[in-house]
Amino acid sequence: MRDVDTALSEIDRIRAQLAASTRFQGFTPAVAATTGLLALALAAVQAAGLDPSTTPVEMLVQWMLLAIICACLIGADAVVRARRLHRAMADTMINTTLRQFLPVGAAGTIVATVILLRAPAWAAILPGLWQLLIGIGILAALPALPRLLAWGAGWYFLVATASLLAGAGATDVSPWIMGLPFGIGQLLIAGLLHAAMREDRHG
């Protein structure tokens, strides 16, 4: 029985190593572009002032809800696509990718909750912090993603710097300070994923 357990453990270890060294193909351009368009749409609605009584905190809560929706869309699409393309290794690759992204998502949620509940005067820096964490998340998962996505991480670091500078000391939150960086960033990610898929087909 001990030999069987050892063999199973060795198989799991080899599978984990293969998953870590194999490009994850669960992310698609269409879903990435959809999340970008949703971000631009929410920013446009908020900027139009359909509800003038909306506070900066309420505005950022709306962005948190949109982030959850986008994460669910990306996650569901990734699981379905991974099971089709990676077959037996799908679960291992999904778990490996989740372990890379989840800490960043958890950090963003914790920071947002603390600021919105205990220090709402600092709410204007949240968009920049979120953008910075997205860039970190992409870099953390980059070994399993197309190398072209490094440009997407670079975009998020660039706009995070600008957003943090704009938000420092600000008393109000512009919807575009979140909408434009994330919307354009996700459309850029979609284009990079499409280019990577073309390289795979023709390479």
pLDDT tens digits along 23-46 = 667 789 999 999 999 999 999 999
Tell me what the pLDDT averaged over the chain comes to. 84
> Any idea which residue has 């994923």 for tokens?
193
Phi-psi region of 51 (alpha: psi -120 to 50; beta: other; left: phi over 0): beta
What confidence score (pLDDT) does residue 155 get? 98
The string of pLDDT tens digits covering residues 44-93 is 999 887 666 678 888 899 999 999 999 999 988 888 887 777 666 667 77
Buried residues in 36-49 as b, exposed as e (16+ CB within 10 A): bebbbebbeebeee
> Any idea which residue has 């280019």 for tokens?
195
**Please, where are the H alpha helices in the chain?**
2-21, 29-47, 56-85, 90-118, 126-141, 150-167, 176-202
Q: What are phi and psi of 32, to 5 degrees?
A: -60, -45
Token digits for 99? Answer: 């372990």
What confidence score (pLDDT) does residue 51 get? 62
Which one, of 11, 7, 34, lies nearest residue 89 by Cα? 11
The stretch 117-141 carries a mean pLDDT of: 92
End-to-end CA distance of the chain: 46
Burial class (CB in 10 A: 0-12, 13-18, 19+), 184: middle
Distance separating alpha carbons of residues 120 and 130, to the nearest angstrom = 16
